[in-house]
Homo-oligomer: A and B are copies of this chain.
């Protein structure tokens, strides 16, 4: 085990916790004891323990000591991958087909569109992500031209709109929502599914400095796609 000493200490303790050797509630050695064990300064031990606290593996109480944390109520995190890299990672050919591109005003009846437009116009982009020549996901996106005027000149031959935006207009805040819907006739046609088939929907909105930049709704065939998260306590 090479590398920095504080990492080694952290790793040793983490291993004991993950293996179950130290059950939740188990009292870990004090910093003084670890100093002796590793023959190092307290700051070094402290750095290791602090990292374990941030990772959620250890809880510390002054005077009492350090204890293995109780894994929280299922509070796992799930990684929502970028579609393009997801497909490429599987070794399949990726393509984005732009189906429609419209510049229009916000629908006055939709408060959300009005907020997104912020007094300007909206760019609506509809397209399909293909994996290995077959439709993989549907995308409908609205972009505020006030927040990202440069996108009007962009073509999406190289990068799909999501990647283009990520490159050119960095977000500072985002919200994702995951749900399930029954494919309507158009969804079904574009994804080559039967009408009514269950689909996973990811609805994502991003902001930059408080200004709403884009909203995208991606539809995946429920049968063919799922999101996976694997983790240990605190990870």
Which residues of A are in contact with B by a Cβ distance under 8 Å? 17-20, 23-24, 54, 70-71, 73-82, 85, 162-163, 166, 170-182, 196-201, 203-204, 208-209, 220, 222-223, 225-233
Write out the residue numbers on chain B whose beta carbons fall within 8 Å of the beta carbon of A79: 75-78
Give min CB distance, A94 to chain B, whole Å.
13
The answer to whether B178 and A200 have CB atoms under 8 Å apart is yes
Cβ distance A35 to chain B, nearest Cβ, rounded Å: 18
Assess whether B76 is in contact with A176, with CB atoms less than 8 Å apart: yes
Q: Which residues of B contact A225 (CB under 8 A)?
A: 179
B222-A173 in contact (CB<8A): no
Provide the residues of chain B in CB contact with A73, threshold 8 Å.
Answer: 82, 85, 163, 166
List the B residue with the shortest CB-CB distance to A196.
Answer: B196
Distance, CA A228 to CA B178, complexed state (A): 6
Q: Which residues of B contact A75 (CB under 8 A)?
A: 79-82
A30 to chain B, nearest CB (A): 21
Q: Are B222 and A179 in touch, CB under 8 angstroms? A: yes
Asked if A20 meets B178 with Cβ closer than 8 Å, knowing A173-B231, A198-B222, the reply is no
Bound Cα distance from A21 to B232, whole angstroms: 36
Q: When the two chains form their complex, are residues B200 and A180 in contact, meaning their CB atoms are under 8 A apart? A: yes
Name 13 A/B residue pairs within 8 A (Cβ), A-sorted. A20-B209, A71-B166, A71-B171, A73-B163, A77-B80, A78-B176, A177-B226, A179-B222, A180-B198, A181-B222, A182-B182, A182-B197, A198-B198
Chain B residues with Cβ under 8 A from A77's Cβ?
Answer: 77-80
Residues of B with C-beta under 8 A to A82:
73-75
A136 to B59, CA, bound (A): 34
Contact present for A74 and B80 (CB under 8 Å): yes
